[in-house]
Amino acid sequence: MDTADLRALHRLMVVARRLDEEAIAMQRQGALPGYAPAKGQEAAQVGSAAALDLSRDFAFPGYRDLGAAVAMGVDLVGYMASHHNVWHGGLYDAKASRLAPFNAVVAGPVTHAVGWALGAKLDDTGGAAITYFGDGASSEGDVHEAMNFAGVYRLPVVFFCQNNGWAISVPTREQVAGGSVAARAAGYGIEGHRVDGNDVLAVFEATRAALDRARDGGGPTVIEAMTYRMGPHSTSDDPGRYRTLAEEQEWSERDPLAVAARQLSAEDVAAAEEHAAAVVREVREGLLALEARPVEELFSFTYREPTKALLEQQRVWEESLDA
């Protein structure tokens, strides 16, 4: 990695940060029903997603992974439409983008990634999956089952844990036995590594190595990116009720954008901000221009073959329109 690489990654992080801030503003203005801020986690998300080979890999995000979508070049209006509550999984092409619709179920994307990785291994596609989850989600049974299954079958998958210090209002030390998610990997017979989640180059290198190993048949890897959620858990959360201002100030000195910017010129930083402002303006305008989707789509894209129960619900809904 050289200065040009860092410049490109920093540019992506700035887009993610400014769009994140705009999403919060739009929620406060009533344009978005809810949002989970990602401020402080840009290096973890951008650095890991930038390591993917989009011709064969696939990513499975949670609800706080805007930076991954930015780094993967996803249509951001279509992606942000997921928060706009207008359609199942957003309006972007998930298959072409190699980014699954984000999953609002805690630890939900982890099992999906393992299933995809099993298919990739059976079909010998040469691709690997990466799945995003937090330290809080690591306490869910789905994560244990996914890691155990992936370890047994040596599947090409990277379990990318963003340890941002808090499971909503519960600190990591009170809900992760042993204090380390990466250390759990040994129990499944797979690789486990901790990385500075606020250093975008370190994240990129660690993820690239894990993906290479996965594609070469080396099996899964758990990466625990140590970072910090600088904002609230969601736009309905007040972090001031459970953490101190001193803690927030201490972590602000390790802001991933500032860490990267210190290695770049003032001109590079200014250009990145100018680019981000243009992207944010375009995304905001695109989101506000979206028209309401037909309500019947709620029934059209749930199952490949509609179930009797779903058809009955649709019938009742249609009758209610005539009442």
Active-site residues, by number, are: 229, 233, 242
Q: What is the DSSP letter of 237?
A: -
Give strand pairing partners of 222: 159, 192
Angle at 182 between CA 177 and CA 185, to 5 degrees: 95
Q: Which residue has the tokens 């201490």?
A: 250
Give strand pairing partners of 226: 163, 196
Residue (of 242, 223, 222, 224) closest to 232 by Cα position: 242
Q: What is the DSSP letter of 99?
A: B
Tokens of 188: 């499944």
Tokens of 254: 């390790």
Give strand pairing partners of 196: 226
- Say if residues 108 and 140 touch (Cβ distance below 8 Å): no
What residues have CB less than 8 Å from 104, skipping those under 6 apart?
62, 63
Cα distances (Å, whole numbers) of residue 130 to 49, 158, 183, 207, 275: 8, 5, 18, 9, 28
> How far is 120 from 99, CA to CA, in rounded Å?
15
